Amino acid sequence: MPTGKQPFVRRLKLAVGKNKGIPAAALVIPDGFEKYKNTGLPDHFLTKTPIGGLLWKECNIYFENLIEAAKTEEIQFVNLGAYRSPKEVEQLFLQRYSKTDEGRSPQITRTWQGATWYLKPGMAPSASPDRGSPHQWGVAIDLGSKTKDGTKPLTERARKWLCKNAPTYGFTLQGLPFLDNGQPNPEFEWWHWQWSDPT
C-alpha cells in the first residue's frame, strides 16, 4: 500500500466543464517499488489478469472485480497492454519517437539522454525510459472493447461504464480529455486505466 498519500477520494480529480464525469487521479507508485525502476518487478509480484497480460497481484484483485462487474452488464474488455518491463518501455519509446520532427500536429515531445524526441505521426504517446511508465509498476492496463465484430477501441457504452464504475475499484484515467483552456488534450488516452489504491 502506498505510504504518505492522500485518501483516494481526495486524490480523485473532480472534473468539471467539458471534462465533467471523467475520473482522473495522479499515479501513486506502490510503497517499495521504486527500487525496481531499472530492473523491473520480480516475477512473483505479478499475476495474469482475467483478460491476459500481467498486473501487480494486489492491483489485480481489484481488476478482477471490475471485470466481473462489467460482465453483469454485458460489457467485455480486452487487454491491449498491461505490465511492461523497463526494457519494453524503452523499446516502445524508440518505436514511437524520433529525434527528427516528422511533422506530427499537434507535436508531443519528450526529453531523454539530453535530446528532444518527437512523437511520430499516427503513434500514441508513451513515457520516456528515464521517467518511467505506470505500466512498469504493474498498475496500468490499456483496454479495448470485445464486441461481436471483434476487438475495437473502447465503445462509448464501455467508456461511460468505466467512468461511472472504475473508481469504485481504484481505477481512473491518468489525465483529462480537455485542457484548462478548453482545448483537446493531445496526450489523453481513453484506453489507459491505472490503479491507485482506493482506500
What does the DSSP 8-state code read for residue 16?
-
What mean pLDDT do residues 152-164 have?
96
Averaged pLDDT score across all residues of the chain = 92
CATH of 8-84+134-195, one of 3.30.70, 1.10.260, 1.20.120, 3.30.1380: 3.30.1380
Q: Where are the domains of the chain?
A: 8-84+134-195, 85-132
Give CA angle at 30 (7, 24), nearest 5°.
Answer: 50
Q: Residue 2: pLDDT above 70?
A: no
C-alpha–C-alpha distance, residues 82 and 194, integer Å: 10
Q: Residue 4: pLDDT above 60?
A: no
Print burial letters for 9-25: b (CB count within 10 Å at least 16), e (below 16): eebbeebeeebeebbbb
C-alpha–C-alpha distance, residues 81 and 144, integer Å: 10
The confidence score (pLDDT) of residue 24 equals: 92
The confidence score (pLDDT) of residue 9 equals: 55
Q: Residue 181: pLDDT above 80?
A: yes
Q: How far is CA 40 from CA 28, 33, 112, 158, in A?
A: 17, 9, 19, 31
End-to-end distance of the chain based on CA atoms, in angstroms? 9
Under the phi-then-psi rule, with left for phi > 0, alpha for psi from -120 to 50, and beta for the rest, what region is 40? Answer: left
Question: For residues 120 and 130, is the Cβ–Cβ distance under 8 A?
Answer: no
The confidence score (pLDDT) of residue 58 equals: 95
Over pLDDT 70: what percentage of the chain?
91
Judged by DSSP in three states, 40 sits in coil
Closest residue by Cα to residue 85 from 35, 129, 29: 129
The pLDDT tens digits for 51-100 are 999 999 999 999 999 999 999 999 999 999 999 999 999 999 999 999 99
Q: What's the pTM value of the predicted model, to 2 decimals?
A: 0.91
What mean pLDDT do residues 1-30 have?
71
